[in-house]
Structure 1
Amino acid sequence: MNADFVIVGAGSAGCVLANRLSADPNNRVVLLEAGGRDTNPWIHIPVGYFKTMHNPSVDWCYRTEPDPGLNGRSIDWPRGKVLGGSSSLNGLLYVRGQQEDYDRWRQMGNTGWGWDDVLPLFKRAEDQERGADDYHGIGGPLSVSNMRIQRPICDAWIAAAQSAGYPFNPDYNGATQEGVGYFQLTTRNGRRCSSAVAYLKPIRDRENLQIITKAQVQRILLDGKRATGVAYRDASGVEKTIHADREIILSSGTIGSAQILMLSGIGDPNHLKENGVTPVHTLKAVGHNMQDHLQARLVYKCNEPTLNDEVRSLFNQARIALKYALFRAGPMTMAASLATGFLKTKTHLETPDIQFHVQPWSADSPGEGVHPFSAFTMSVCQLRPESRGEIRLNGPDPLTYPKIVPNYLSTETDCRTIVDGVKIARTIAQHAPLASKISEEFRPPAALCMDDYDGTLDWVRDNTASIYHPTGTCKMGAGEDAVVDHKLKVHGIEGLRVADCSIMPEIVSGNTNAPAIMIGEKASDLVLNDA
């Protein structure tokens, strides 16, 4: 089989590329996805992440290696294994990050990636429910909507944060990110608007686009220093090849794109040989520079009902389901969090360095069910961690998961920032009107003194989890520590690009789905301009 463009991975960026590249009927495009089609109904119900995360039919179900920064714990790293990728099972939160994030990318030598360059791409992608303005667009494929549900405990958190001195911000994707407010969501009429829904569904019948699911990519085929095709195993396990007359674009995510490059012989020669792979091109940076957002989840028991109580009985579950079926309203429209805050741990900082996710429910993890008591959760994460991890091969078999070495909390700044974030969270909980609704500080325990730095850090190491924002393993840049250039071309290899969150030189200050879609938009322009 031959195509002009072969896209590996139908995730947040890959779906964008499939849409934009196939818009010209003269371009033959093949989109390969290791997972299946997005037919699971829970994918399309916003609260369905409770059912899809940790479900091996749509989730890769990765786990990290034991991490010293987490007192030796391994933690879950859900990643989408389905059309839409992680946008089909994420928390639906639409966050771009700070303008300064992208300006830093440009200052690092990545021409065309400053805020003024990427803002038009965010707007082009967007169909903003609030309408168009200087920061938002309408008419794009991706629907961005306001919450369809509010809960008093989240309203109280926002009011308490304001009482503690933090400003209200109605649009953290607007002129400034700083402040507290409510999340916006990638939903349309009360249903999830994944990248597959936004970009693939409307154009699946294009004659020049072929979508192949259950296609496990084995390696990139190389002719000297040119990428010529892709070898993959189909649903029956038969190895097949597709030849690319123009380009191959890897959009398999921070884990998958790095793994495929290394399985293809592109990476650190010593590491490849140790894992039974013959080196063909030296790029020592492949798999390095990995960054993620680590969240400390604080849970408070309440003296009034929360969502924990609403979903506990079968009668209430039936009532909630009926409300959603009839009106596309109620708790089933809920994203992973309702309220948010982007705050500074130090007054001298130019931009916020921590983010809050506030939920009117509590659980040990999505998919395990809510706690058997009234409670809410506020999680806090450091926005720009200094710690860097890596993806390592675990042998030459593409079906063997690579080793994920996050290296969390390995710098003093990271440790102090997360401890300061926990202290700010506990301080907000002491302000009206939130304080009167709290009956008990559950996690961390009230006995842990707010000023006990060592004790709080140890609690963090024992209790934090990922917010599932892995980035950076195919870093964009010009030096030896980079994998792709500012046009996303793999250094030293013709006909091969990477377009997903793995190209981020630094993680953005917020959730990563909107930036991933923007990267897909940018990559499509770069590919079409060169073609």
Structure 2
Amino acid sequence: MAEHLLDDGEVDYAIVGAGAAGCVLANRLSASGRHRVAVLEAGGSDRNIFIKIPAGFTRTVHDPALNWGYETAPGAHIGGRRIVYPRGRVLGGSSSINGHLYVRGQAHDYDTWAQLGCRGWAWTDVLPHFKRAESRAGGDPATRGRDGPLLVEDQRDPHPLSHLFQDAAEQLGLRRNPDYNSGDQEGTCIYQQMMKRGRRWSAADAFLRPALKRGNLRLVMHALAERVLLDGRRAVGLVYRVGGQLRHLRVRREVVLAGGSINSAQLLQLSGIGDPDWLRPLGIAVAHELMGVGRNLRDHYAARVAVRVKGIGSLNEKSHGLALAWEVLRYFTQRKGLLTAAPGHAAAFWRSRPDLAVPDVQMLFAPASYPAGRVGTASLEREPGMTCGGYQERPESHGHVKIVSTDPRQAPEIQPNYLADPLDRQVMLALLKFARQLFATPPLANHVAHETFPGPAAVSDDDLLEHAKATGSTTFHPIGTCKMGSDPRAVVDPQLKVIGLEGLRVADASVMPTMVSGNTYAAVVMIAEKAADALQA
């Protein structure tokens, strides 16, 4: 017998997901007061001290109360390993649990989208939306915003080793880049962070919380969307579950999926939108054939080199015992020190081959090291150390997100196919060699005692590549599973409308046709800003 659906009323816009994109959309679509807007979020409140403290990502990224707790399918090119795959399930989504680095990418990324048929997405088209979203004290006002809700700060307390890393990068031919978010990121720099006076400033802080005061915006937490309701070729509502009850929300104008690259593709498939060969074996009636749903999954796969430090302190020693107690006091009184740290402190945006027009590698340096190189574990090593790693910015390897059950609570199959493409393996090898070269270059080399990870036994190219396969990890940047374009595998058009349907859009990282050169959060906020404009045009 079919479950009874409780009528949950009618709204103009329904947004699925209160992550980075959903928070922006909720704010912008409700701003005029003319439209009734509902936001469904599968997670709960972000009132958690470890969310607010920037360095708390080492805990939140593994907290099952804040995280979907996904893992990948075994990877054929990474030794059959499954990779832990955190995605935020909380107000703010992954912006509440990520490493809070602000990286827009390169102008080249967005010009490439336009060349692929995504009209209106070139750098000059998207720049105003980046600027509108952010508030940034530094940088050229031609490229940086001053009055937006999203606060972007410089690091409050850069470590001396981060500056020595930059010195080494300069010795190897990289320039010091005064603003890597200007569209030209090549060079070395200190990362910018999403913080407000040393406190994490998530999408929920920046966009959602101020909008919740409006009477026309409704937020429903712990609401798991189960399917989009279609009337012919038009989306007319959503079925979602709260506390064991199924509810039906009717939608007058549009349903907007903003659940990210895993959940948006999953919800489309659960709604009968996708590849019939994936849906029919599960007993799902095909409502709309769209072969690209769940395909084109891309992610940044990172590997690292770590060394023991001499002659200067690192963050490791500050993370234990009485030193940690002092850092806690320092944070709450000055908003400085260890607890403001991100996973990356300094960067090098670098070309692995001289014939490339723009950088293809993002290096991340931290004046800290983790046991056995496990970035994101709760505790740093006790002995002084530092780490340099990186990833290919625009990987060629791609995979899929595919539902394995009609139960929306069951995780889909997530297969990024890390290092499947030979070019990705070639670039990975080059960046690990470059990390070693940086550590061997004065003045940074003056503070290297010895390499601890992978260690001196890793000598040959095969050794280094095996190290990458055995120890590499996601950097939490999945994109592309509902990609924008006009080719047969496109899922949305340049207005982010699901192709072949009315009243249904996707606005999150899943629509990116190719990977942006860096962390994805800034680009997702921009995408949501553009989507809000398109919805109200």
TM tier relative to shorter chain: over 0.9
2:288 alignment partner in structure 1: 281
When normalised by structure 1's length, the TM-score is 0.97
1:386 alignment partner in structure 2: 396
The whole-number CA distance in structure 1 between the counterparts of 2:37 and 2:114 is 30
1:256 maps to which of 236, 253, 263: 263
Shift of 1:436: 1.5
Q: Is 1:474 the counterpart of 2:482 in the alignment?
A: yes
1:53 maps to which of 48, 58, 61: 61
Q: Is 1:357 the counterpart of 2:400 in the alignment?
A: no
Kept after mapping to 2: 8 A contact 1:158/1:181 = yes
Q: Is 1:442 the counterpart of 2:452 in the alignment?
A: yes
The whole-number CA distance in structure 1 between the counterparts of 2:468 and 2:335 is 38
The whole-number CA distance in structure 1 between the counterparts of 2:377 and 2:46 is 19
2:95 alignment partner in structure 1: 87
Shift of 1:131: 5.8
The whole-number CA distance in structure 2 between the counterparts of 1:423 and 1:317 is 34
2:420 partner letter:
S
Shift of 1:372: 2.9
Shift of 1:276: 3.0
1:161 alignment partner in structure 2: 169
What number of residue pairs does the alignment pair up?
525
The whole-number CA distance in structure 2 between the counterparts of 1:173 and 1:352 is 13
Kept after mapping to 2: 8 A contact 1:299/1:444 = yes
Kept after mapping to 1: 8 A contact 2:59/2:378 = no
2:207 alignment partner in structure 1: 199
1:108 alignment partner in structure 2: 116
Shift of 1:365: 3.0
The whole-number CA distance in structure 1 between the counterparts of 2:315 and 2:463 is 31
1:483 maps to which of 479, 487, 491: 491
The whole-number CA distance in structure 2 between the counterparts of 1:482 and 1:75 is 27
Aligned 1:167-316 pairs, distance under 5 A: 167-174=175-182, 176-234=184-242, 236-303=243-310, 304-313=312-321, 315-316=322-323
Q: Is 1:337 the counterpart of 2:344 in the alignment?
A: yes
The whole-number CA distance in structure 1 between the counterparts of 2:457 and 2:377 is 29
2:332 alignment partner in structure 1: 325
Larger mean CA deviation between 331-340 and 215-224 belongs to 331-340
2:202 partner letter:
S
1:4 maps to which of 1, 12, 16: 12
Q: Is 1:493 the counterpart of 2:492 in the alignment?
A: no
Shift of 1:398: 0.2
The whole-number CA distance in structure 2 between the counterparts of 1:501 and 1:99 is 17
2:492 partner letter:
V
1:198 partner letter:
A
2:64 partner letter:
P
Deviations 1:433-475 (A, max 9, x none): 11121111111222222xx222221221111111110000001
SS of structure 2 residue aligned to 1:70:
coil
Kept after mapping to 1: 8 A contact 2:303/2:473 = yes
The whole-number CA distance in structure 2 between the counterparts of 1:406 and 1:275 is 22
Kept after mapping to 2: 8 A contact 1:129/1:143 = no
The whole-number CA distance in structure 2 between the counterparts of 1:523 and 1:47 is 31
Q: Relative to structure 1, is the Cα distance of residues 175 and 281 closer, same or farther in structure 2, using a 3 angstrom cutoff?
A: closer
1:412 partner letter:
P
1:460 maps to which of 451, 455, 468: 468
1:524 alignment partner in structure 2: 532
Shift of 1:263: 0.3
SS of structure 2 residue aligned to 1:123:
helix
Kept after mapping to 2: 8 A contact 1:301/1:439 = yes
2:6 alignment partner in structure 1: none
Shift of 1:305: 2.4
SS of structure 1 residue aligned to 2:479:
coil
Shift of 1:175: 5.0
1:33 alignment partner in structure 2: 41
1:524 partner letter:
A
1:411 alignment partner in structure 2: 421
The 4+ residue runs of structure 1 with deviation greater than 4 A are none
SS of structure 2 residue aligned to 1:167:
coil
Q: Is 1:504 the counterpart of 2:498 in the alignment?
A: no
Q: Relative to structure 1, is the Cα distance of residues 175 and 240 closer, same or farther in structure 2, using a 3 angstrom cutoff?
A: closer
CA RMSD of aligned residues (A): 1.0
Q: Relative to structure 1, is the Cα distance of residues 91 and 19 closer, same or farther in structure 2, using a 3 angstrom cutoff?
A: same
Kept after mapping to 2: 8 A contact 1:52/1:367 = no
2:134 alignment partner in structure 1: 126
Larger mean CA deviation between 267-276 and 365-374 belongs to 365-374
The whole-number CA distance in structure 1 between the counterparts of 2:325 and 2:30 is 43
Kept after mapping to 2: 8 A contact 1:290/1:389 = yes
The whole-number CA distance in structure 1 between the counterparts of 2:246 and 2:46 is 24
2:5 alignment partner in structure 1: none
Larger mean CA deviation between 100-109 and 368-377 belongs to 368-377
Deviations 1:330-350 (A, max 9, x none): 211112211011000111110
Kept after mapping to 2: 8 A contact 1:53/1:367 = no
2:4 alignment partner in structure 1: none
2:355 maps to which of 348, 351, 360: 348
The whole-number CA distance in structure 2 between the counterparts of 1:428 and 1:78 is 30
2:163 partner letter:
D
Q: Is 1:147 the counterpart of 2:155 in the alignment?
A: yes
2:3 alignment partner in structure 1: none
SS of structure 1 residue aligned to 2:27:
helix
Kept after mapping to 1: 8 A contact 2:104/2:522 = yes
The whole-number CA distance in structure 1 between the counterparts of 2:162 and 2:139 is 25
1:369 alignment partner in structure 2: 379
